[in-house]
Amino acid sequence: MSRPTNDVHACEVRATDAELDDLRARLASARLPEPETIRHAAPGPHRWEQGVPLADLVDVVNYWRTAYDWRAFEARLDRIGQFRTVVDGLGIHFLHRRSPRADATPLLLTHGWPGSVAEFVDVVDELVEPEEVDAPAFHVVVPSLPGFGHSDKPATTGWGTEKIAAAWVELMGRLGYDTFAAHGGDWGGVITTILGGRFPERVLGIHTTLAQAPPGLSTDGLTAGEREWTEETRDFWHHHTAYAKQQATRPQTIGYSLVDSPVGLLAWILDKFAEWSDTEDSPFETISLDRLLDNVTLYWLTRSGASAARIYYESHDSLDPELRVDVPSAITTYPRDIEKYPRAWAEERFRQIVRWRSPATGGHFPSLEVPEYFVEDLRDGLAAVLAARRS
């Protein structure tokens, strides 16, 4: 294993009291539209047909302004361990906690949009120091994507998923991890796929909740359930990706609203947590209101609404159709995720799938929705990956 370098520095990031006061003042003076015209009194997904219902938004804004505690989240990040380094001229912020176990494996966790490192803070402890002595343990590294959170904002084009994957390899090497396992979903799943495909000498194997198949595959031979997956994925791409097209084509334009209005930022992000979670009515059936506000407040305080949106400009629908992943791969597809691919399709790209799971519950944010299952599944998947690597 390589020795860590001096290019990595511990850090503690603090919002000023003035910044938090400004946030509360903006929330108090927010101008809101009239209620949606499609109204459903009974709980259910139809209440969200025109976006975030006014009554729900008002409740969250009031809590954000009067009861939410950002300082508790800052302290949580400090307990895990915050660091910065500069890769290819860009400052990268990341969480890093080493396991006391001698047999621990380095593990890189990559978030997506509209997420952040907040997606993983509740699962780090159990991955680093599992209660069961027989469970695998990991040295956990959670970077903030370029333009997200406390990572720097790229000043030029070029920071797409391929470049980010290469930066993650450099980051892990600086921490002394010559080889490592990787997990991700959403953009993190794309980056994890690229890591496995481009850097097989460094990546022991991967676990992902997004196993994008190459384009143009036939539905012949698929089961009825698998066909339903492909139809749901096609429906998502055709009817539910206006947000992605906006961020892929005009990130700067939407960025003004996201950086200037905390209520606008909240609604833009909350809409996706509601639509993409495995719930009947509200994302808060499974996701902590505080954790969602940790995520949104991180975007707000770092003014990263525009810079985070630019990952779509750089990389939207750009995964190399010829890329193949030959390292051991564990794939989990949650039933309410936004993209679901049949195993036969996934096998066209991931050529050594050692574990395949499709649980009964969970959506796009499993580490927040079903954290206990997520940890168990990630451990078991990576255990299968590492066993295949050793055989």
pLDDT reading at 390 higher than 60: yes
∠ CA 300-76-128, rounded to 5°: 125
Q: Cβ–Cβ contacts within 10 Å for residue 385, how many?
A: 28
∠ CA 97-100-105, rounded to 5°: 70
Weakest mean pLDDT among 40-44, 105-109, 128-132, 379-383: 40-44
Note the helical H segments in 261-369: 262-276, 289-301, 305-315, 343-346, 366-369
For 123-172, write each residue's pLDDT tens digit.
999 999 999 989 999 999 999 999 999 999 999 999 999 999 999 999 99
Average pLDDT for the chain: 96
* pLDDT band, residue 256 (cuts 50/70/90): very high
Weakest mean pLDDT among 45-54, 57-66, 172-181, 253-262: 45-54
pLDDT computed for residue 3 by the predictor? 58
Q: Is the backbone peptide bond immediately before 136 cis, with ω within 30 degrees of 0?
A: no
The Cα–Cα gap between 142 and 337 comes to 22
Q: In 3-state terms, the chain is what percent helix, strand and coil (to 5)? A: 45, 15, 40
pLDDT computed for residue 87 by the predictor? 98
**380, containing H or E segment:** helix 371-390
User: For residues 13 and 85, is the Cβ–Cβ distance under 8 A?
Assistant: no
The Cα–Cα gap between 340 and 346 comes to 10
- Domain locations along the chain: 9-23+70-236+325-390
The model carries a pTM of 0.96
Instruction: Give me the CATH code for the 9-23+70-236+325-390 domain, please.
Output: 3.40.50.1820
pLDDT computed for residue 2 by the predictor? 53
For 174-191, write each residue's pLDDT tens digit.
999 999 999 999 999 999
